[in-house]
A and B are shown apart, each in its own frame.
Chain A
Amino acid sequence: MYSTKVMDHFANPRNVGELTDANAVGEVGNAKCGDIMKIYMKIENDIIKDVSFKTFGCGAAIATSSMATELVKGKSIEEALSITNKAVMEALDGLPPVKVHCSVLAEEAIKAAINNYKKSIGEQVEENEYSCNSCCHNKKCE
């Protein structure tokens, strides 16, 4: 059911673990729904110098997290913010329909981390509802 790329990123996740000197951390998802993604970034001069993740979730959740970290590594904040869930999916050669929400979580995790960073340096950010809004299960989460 998963593409070879998804299986590769699941079996050998890139950039996994906690980044101890992170200055941007974003966490999205809900344990009740079965997936939480946490992305750590080290941002310097608006460039994402380093990035890592921790994920509680299925194979697709782990693979999309891994791919998301690959996609943002070395990118500017603006470039990273423009990464969509579709881009994450395409980079993984697609996801089964029931797993599309995992790619949405990956996009949101990147945005959450960057927004938290912007807030920490006093920038104005648009407040978004991240918690579980991508999950088709959200009505039952509360």
Chain B
Amino acid sequence: MKNVYLDHAATTQLEKTVLDKMIPYMRDYYGNPSSIYSIGRESKKVIEEAREKIAECFNCKSSEIYFTSCGTESDNWAIKGVCSFNRNKGMHIITTNIEHHAVMDTYLYMKKQGYEITIVPVEKNGIVDPLKIEKEIRKDTILISVMYANNEIGTIQPISEIGLIAKKYGIIFHTDAVQAAGTIPIDVKKLNIDLMSVSAHKFYGPKGVGALYIKRGIMIDNLFHGGGQEKTRRAATENISGIVGMAEALKYSIDNMDVYNSKIKQIRDAVKERIEAKIPYIIYNGDSEQRLVNNINFCFRFIEGESLILMLDFKGISASSGSACTSGSLDPSHVLLALGLPHETAHGSLRLTFGRDNSMDDVDYIVDTISDVVDKLRQMSPLYETFLKENK
């Protein structure tokens, strides 16, 4: 059976060349980077080289890159760190209604701790209006956090404008760039970003490693307490092979960004165009221009997402949905609801995220399979039956 992986926003396959670079640091070079003898110093050296490489990719200083265990940790650290450090300055935070759970749920936690959270809704195209963020700024606002690119609908937020606004008011600006890093060129200086979360496995690096960019001079409390690693800001023995892999993967992604992006966009656009031509009663979610080149998100009316995902899996296609049943909660995805979609429509969403391993040769198979499965589920759906009877 054909296997087509279309869930690159969930994770990506480790690049073979990246794995090759990592392997020596899993066994041969096992020294603890904090040890002062030579095998320890060797480990320390490769970590600093990796840090340098990553800093170059984001146009910052290597001293501004801090390694973490994942994007979620980076988000938690950024938000909790800013909140607790600035408690006496203010307790007001501004964010949007389409953030990743790692950000959203951290804010819900901060709310319980007494912080006030203003959630600015995005427009119908899934993009936040920077002026609406500016309007919410108060004297006690300590943090603005807006994701760079959305994980479900791929919309790219006006980070540059928001960065300028934050700078103008002297407010710390955090962005969750987990979906953007490796796909969009990011210059943290030009964009006025103070804190930025990234995760290696989203750009063909290993799982279990991420980073937080902390602009020089930005003070945040620690999340992890313990040893003196990461200049005493993030305790824990370093994941050396992971860090090496992350730097390699990011460098490779940035060096080859244009080539991969144009290839991926071509496949994505072909699939989108053909699905729109072939399947009726669908809604394309999110902006069509300000969007990651790898992302498609559709709602298919009258059907439910989990069934769709499972049936596509029977045919070898791995994709994801924002339906309640796949989100693990009772509501469909908050991102789809934020676009103003009714619940019943949001339940029938399908996210396809393309990647390096996809090919134009897969397009027919992808479109035909989705079309067959949607049709099969609609034939089974009482909602579709009612719709057809009412529209006879």
Give chain A's interface residues, CB within 8 Å of chain B.
7, 10-11, 13, 16-18, 27, 31-38, 54-62, 98-99, 136-137, 140
Contact = CB atoms under 8 A, between A and B. Distances in A.
A17 B379 contact: yes
Judged by DSSP, the binding face of A is mixed
A27 B381 CA distance: 12
Contacts of B323: 34, 58
Interface string B300-342: 0011101100110010000000011100101110000000001
Contacts of B381: 36, 54-56
Nearest to A11: B314
B362 interface: no
Contact of A31 (B311, B330, B383): B383
B306 to A, nearest CB: 4
Contacts of A32: 342-344
B382 A27 contact: yes
Interface of B: 302-304, 306-307, 310-311, 314, 323-325, 328, 330-332, 342-344, 347, 379-385
Q: Which 10 residue pairs are nearest across A and B when measured between Cβ atoms? A: A31-B344, A58-B325, A58-B306, A38-B382, A34-B347, A32-B343, A137-B330, A54-B382, A56-B381, A56-B383
Given A27-B382, A32-B343, A34-B332, A57 B324 contact: no
B347 to A, nearest CB: 4
B199 to A, nearest CB: 25
A59 B330 contact: no
A98 B324 CA distance: 11
A80 B149 CA distance: 52
Contact of B382 (A10, A11, A34, A56): A56
A21 to B, nearest CB: 16
Nearest to B381: A56
Contact of B380 (A27, A55, A98, A136): A55
Contact of A58 (B304, B379, B383, B385): B304
Contact of B310 (A18, A31, A56, A59): A59
Given A54-B380, A58-B323, A10 B385 contact: no
Nearest to A13: B380
A113 B252 CA distance: 61
B344 A58 contact: no
